[in-house]
Amino acid sequence: MIVPIEGFSKLSKEEKIDWIALNYTSNPKATKKILKSYWNTDANVQKLHDEFIENTITNYYLPLGIAPNFLIDEKLYAIPMAVEESSVVAAASKSAKFWLKRGGFKTTVLGTEKIGQVHFIFKGDFDKLNEFFKTIKPKLVSDALGITKNMNKRGGGIVDIELRNKTAQLKNYYQLHCTFETLDAMGANFINSCLEQLAMTLKNEAKLFSSFSSSVKNIEIVMSILSNYVPNCLVRAEVSCPVEELMNDKNDARVFAEKMVRAVTIANVEPHRAVTHNKGIMNGIDAVVLATGNDFRAVEAGVHAYAAKDGAYTSLTNASIDKGVFRFWIELPLALGTVGGLTNLHPLAKLALEILHKPSARELMQIVAVAGLAQNFAAVGSLVTTGIQEGHMKMHLLNILNQLGATEQEKRSLIEYFKKNTATHNAITEALEKLRNT
C-alpha cells in the first residue's frame, strides 16, 4: 500500500527516484533506467536544470525545431519552436515560405504596458480614502524607489497608480491598480516586489492618516499580484497581397481568399470554432514562447481573456478582401521578456534568442505574433482546401511507424507509399503488415 511521505523534498535525487520507482511503478529498475537516460551527460548542465524547480528527478524533452524563411519587417528570421505536435513546425515553415515571396510579415507594437494590483479591504468612506490616496501617492512611489531605481534609470518603472473603487462588485473592496513599463524584462518579479512594497506603504500610512477614524485605520491587504491580463501590452502582425497573387490560377485565388475570409468570420461568430481556431494560433505562439524561456501559461491566460474581451470568445485573427487586396492579421497581448527569468539561464533559451538576433522584448512580441499568424494561415488554409488530415497525417506518419516498431527500411518505403495514398492510423497499420508479409 502506498502511504504519504514526509520530507520528500529533503531526500537526495537518488532517494527520490528510488521512492517514486518503488511506490508508483511496476518495474522500478526500468523506471530508474528511463529517468537516468534523460539526464544530461554534463553534470553542470544537469545541476542547472535540477535547480530550476523542486524535486527534479530528470529532464522532460520536447523537440526544438526551426521554421526558417520568416521575413518580418524586412528582416529574415529562422524561428526556434519547442513543440511536440508533428505538423506545427512544418506548417509555420510553409507559411513563412509562402509570404516570403509576397512581401513578408509587417508588425506593430501597439503598447507595452503591464499591470499589477493591490487588492484591499477598507471599511470607511470612499471620499476619505480617495483623499488619503492622493496624499500618499508620491510616498507610494518614493518608498518603492529601492526596487524601481535601476528600472527607472533605463526608462521603465511604475507608470501610474490608480485607486479603484470595486465596492459595487464586493463590499469594502478597493484596488491600487498599477501600470508598469518593464522594458526587456517580462517583469513578474519586479512588479510583484513593487506591489508588495506599495501594499506595505498603504497599510502603514493609513494608520497615521488623521482623517481616518480609529475604526477604519486598519486597511486589510488581501493580496498583491501582477495581472496576466495585459490588453495594453499589444502587438499586431499582418500579411497582405493582391488576391490574384495567392495562387497561380486567378479564379482559384479568388475562391481561396473568399474561403479564408469566411472561415475567419465563422471563428468570429462561433465560440466552438473560435477556441479551436485560436488553439491553432497558440500552437505557433506557445512553441516560440517556450523555446525562448518565457512563461507560456501567462501568455495563454492573457491571450484567451483578450479573445473574450467584448463579452464573447472570438478569433484572434481577422481577414478581409478590400479593393482586390487580401489581408490577414492578428492582434494579441503578449507579456514577454528577453532578459531575466529563464531567458538567459536555460542554455537553449539563450541560444534560441541568439538565433532570433537577440531581440528586445518588443521585437520578440513581433516575432511571436508572426508565428501565431503564420500557424493560423497554414491551418485555416488547409482546412478550407485539402482538409487538415492530409498534411497532419503525413507528418504524424513517422510517429505511428515508430510506435509500430517499423525498421528504417520499412519507414522509407511507407513514407514513399503515403506520398500518393491517404494516411490514416488503420491504413498505416495495414500497409506495414502488408509490407512485412510480401
Catalytic positions are 85, 279, 295, 392
| Distance set, CA 348 to CA 45, 214, 261 (Å) | 11, 56, 38
**What are the b/e assignments for 120-129, b being 16+ CB within 10 Å?**
bebebeeeeb
- CB of 383: closest distance to ligand MEV in angstroms? 6
Angstrom distance (rounded) from CA 117 to CA 230: 12
How many Cα atoms are found within 13 Å in the side-chain-facing hemisphere of 302?
A: 25
Angstrom distance (rounded) from CA 94 to CA 87: 10
Given the rule CB under 6 A, which residues bind ligand MEV?
85, 276-277, 279-280, 283, 379-380, 383, 388
Nearest residue to the partner ligand MEV, using Cβ: 280
| CB nearer ligand MEV, residue 380 or residue 428 | 380
Reduced to 3 states, what is the DSSP secondary structure of residue 214?
A: coil
| Distance set, CA 238 to CA 75, 101, 284, 329, 369 (Å) | 15, 15, 15, 4, 9
- Edge-first strand order for the sheet with 157-165 is 157-165, 173-181, 114-121, 220-227
Nearest to 241 by CA among 319, 185, 295: 319
- CB of 162: closest distance to ligand MEV in angstroms? 38
| Torsion angle defined by CA atoms of residues 355, 360, 362 and 368, in that order, rounded to the nearest 10 degrees | 20
How many Cα atoms are found within 13 Å in the side-chain-facing hemisphere of 233?
A: 32
What are φ and ψ of residue 191, in 5° steps? -65, -45
| CB nearer ligand MEV, residue 137 or residue 279 | 279
**Under 8 Å between Cβ of 86 and 398:** yes
Nearest to 277 by CA among 370, 383, 368: 383
Q: What is the DSSP string of 32-57?
A: HHHHHHTS-SSHHHHHHHHTTSSS--
Joined grid coordinates for residue 108: 506593430
| Distance set, CA 356 to CA 101, 363, 365, 419 (Å) | 21, 9, 12, 33
- CB of 391: closest distance to ligand MEV in angstroms? 9
Reduced to 3 states, what is the DSSP secondary structure of residue 327?
A: strand
- CB of 214: closest distance to ligand MEV in angstroms? 60
